[in-house]
Structure formats: C-alpha cells, structure tokens
Amino acid sequence: MSLVIIKIGGSTIDTPGLIQEFAQSVGDICYDYRPAIVHGGGKDIARQLDSLKKEYSFVEGMRVTDAETIKVVQMVLSGDVNKRIVNELLLERVPAVGISGVDGGLLTVSKMLVNGQDIGFVGEIKNINTDVLTALFEYSFIPVISPVSRGKDGEFYNVNADLAASKLAMVYEAEDLIFISDVPGVMIDGAVRKTIRVSEIEGLIASGDITGGMIPKLRSAAEAVQKGVGRVHICGWNGSDTLLNELTEENSTGTVIQE
C-alpha cells in the first residue's frame, strides 16, 4: 500500500465540523493507502496563551517559545488537539493512535536559530526513529502525530508541523505528501495552478508569481520531491471527498508539485 503523509493545519482544524469530515475522508482512503497524519494547532495555542495573558511573538513565521510557552504548546498540541483528531477517527472506525515526536524518540531535534537569533524551545529535526511508525503500520494503526519533539538535551521543543511532515515523507519516501491549507492551492494570476514542476519553482519566485509564506512551502515541497517523495499536494478543504480527490489526478482541485 502506498504511504501518504497528510499535514492538517491548525487554522483548518479550527473550522467547525471539519475534523469530523477529515476523519471520514481518512476512512475513505484507508483501504487503498496507508495514511499518517501530522497536525498543527496554532490557533488553539494562541487562544490558550491569550487566556493566560501570556504575550508571544513570531520571527519569520516561527513562534518564539520560552519555557512557559513550550508547556502550553505541549498541552494543547499533544494533549487536546491530538486527542480530538484521534477521537473523531475512532468514531469513523479508523484505528488511530495519537503520538508526538517525543514518543519512542520519533523526532530528535536541536535548537533552531533563525538568522542566528535564538527563539527559544523551537527545534530543527536531526534524527527520525523510523521503527516507531513502522511498528504502528505493521499492525495497521494510523499514526496521528503532534510535532512536539525531544532535544538531545532532554528538553521539549516545538517543531513546525510543515517541516515535520516533509521530513517524515522524505525518510519514508512517501508516494504522496498532502498539505491541507486555508488556501485552495498555489494561486498564479488569480487562479489555482494545477501542476508545478520542481524546475519551475525558482523562476516563479523570481518573477514574483510566488510570494510570502508560499515561498518556503514550495521550496520545502521541491526538496521533498527531490529526496524521494512522489508528489506534493497543496490544497484547501472541500468536504469529505477531499483526500480521495487529491489522490486521483483528474479530480484534484489543489496544486500538485512533482518532478
């Protein structure tokens, strides 16, 4: 069975009723594909920090994470969001198991610096223990992964969910890597570009067709394809048929990045 890594973002999860649709969508592909899910939860983290009157900031899209903040991040992502997704999958009879990057030493990280700046407990993945997911796959469990991970120093670190999904897809040479986003795909001249070749990406950036947060996402997609991932999809959510449609080329509504 082909491995599919699915990354679902926090803003998407936050949409009322979407987790239930997502669980149905995962259930629909389980017969033909082996899915693994990586999730974010930025809006939930922000709400919890706001309720604690804890100020926070970002540097190049990465949340500055001090010792108090990483406790909140772990509680929200590995505790609340992860188990809500698992619960919805179980309700759809999908055999989901919720873990984090900490469990089994799945993801080991070092401190990430952004342009030399220390932004706290934010990690960069250095090692992946492939035995963890392999063991779950062997017994047909569907992993649901919170990107909170463990450093070589024994501390907990927050890891960008996009990067975690990409690294896992590369290590396992997944057939498909799907980023479910709050945008319908890569927009060029006001319309979703259905297919982008890896060789086109730098030219689209240089011409100004690709801007902002889509630049690192596409560069990450290019790296994934160059390191063994079959296809990378960037798509919005279009109901419970979303995953099946994205994996069927003629029905895809998002953008597919391939060699």
- Please state, in angstroms and as integers, the Cα–Cα distance from residue 46 to each residue in 69, 73, 82, 210, following that order: 10, 9, 16, 28
Cα Rg of the chain (Å, integer): 17
How distant is the alpha carbon of residue 155 from its chain centre? 22
Domains and CATH numbers, the chain: 2-258 (3.40.1160.10)
Residue 234: its pLDDT value, please?
A: 94
Residues 8-59 pLDDT 10s: 987 778 788 899 999 999 999 998 999 999 999 888 888 999 899 998 888 8
Residues 102-152 pLDDT 10s: 999 999 999 998 888 889 999 999 999 999 999 999 999 999 999 999 999
Question: Which residue pairs, CB below 8 angstroms and at least 24 apart, start in 192-197?
Answer: 192/253, 192/254, 192/255, 193/255, 194/252, 194/255, 194/256, 195/255, 195/256, 195/257, 195/258, 196/255, 196/256, 196/257, 197/257, 197/258, 197/259
- Please state, in angstroms and as integers, the Cα–Cα distance from residue 99 to each residue in 152, 153, 205, 251, following that order: 19, 20, 36, 32
- Helix 130-138, helix 161-172: angle, nearest 10: 70
Q: Are 28 and 251 in contact (CB under 8 A)?
A: no
Residue 1: its pLDDT value, please?
A: 80
Residues 220-249 pLDDT 10s: 899 999 999 999 999 999 999 999 999 998
Q: Is the pTM of this model over 0.95?
A: no
Q: State phi, psi for 56 to the nearest 5 degrees.
A: -150, 165
DSSP state of 198: G
- Please state, in angstroms and as integers, the Cα–Cα distance from residue 247 to each residue in 21, 28, 34, 235, following that order: 17, 11, 12, 11
3-state secondary structure of 96: strand
